[in-house]
Amino acid sequence: NAGVTQTPKFQVLKTGQSMTLQCAQDMNHEYMSWYRQDPGMGLRLIHYSVGAGITDQGEVPNGYNVSRSTTEDFPLRLLSAAPSQTSVYFCASTKDRGMNTEAFFGQGTRLTVV
């Protein structure tokens, strides 16, 4: 029962480096999203997807790209990392369109940009 799997769990990047945070779910959920958690800010939505081939921006999309080529995977790309992107990143998936449907979260990726 894997649920939502995020890799890596920890990452240190130098300013200007690029990387991809991986997210995979095995629940056949249509909806996936990326959040970042910062102290005093709660979780803020970066990008989300309502199905394969469809993505849209959330509250804080700048500096991040996403794609959704399959139902299972929703990678988050940092093209040129900045110290302001130091955060804990969570991927989530949701089963269907119901607005009360609970989201399932991965364990998070702690990213430090130096």
Which residues ranging from 43 to 62 are in contact with another protein (CB under 8 A)?
Answer: 43-45, 48, 50, 56, 58-59
**Binding of another protein at residue 41 (CB under 8 A)?**
yes
| Eight-class DSSP state of 84 | G
Nearest residue (CB) to another protein, 17 versus 30: 30
Min separation Cβ 43 and another protein, Å: 4
Angle value at C-alpha 30, between 43 and 81, nearest 5 degrees: 45
Q: Does 35 bind another protein (CB under 8 A)?
A: yes
Tell the smallest beta-carbon distance from residue 17 to another protein (Å): 24
Write the CB contacts of 18 (distance below 8 Å, at least 6 apart in sequence).
77, 78, 79, 80, 81
Question: Whole-number minimum distance, CB 99 to another protein, in Å?
Answer: 4
- For residue 37, what are the β-bridge partners? 43, 88
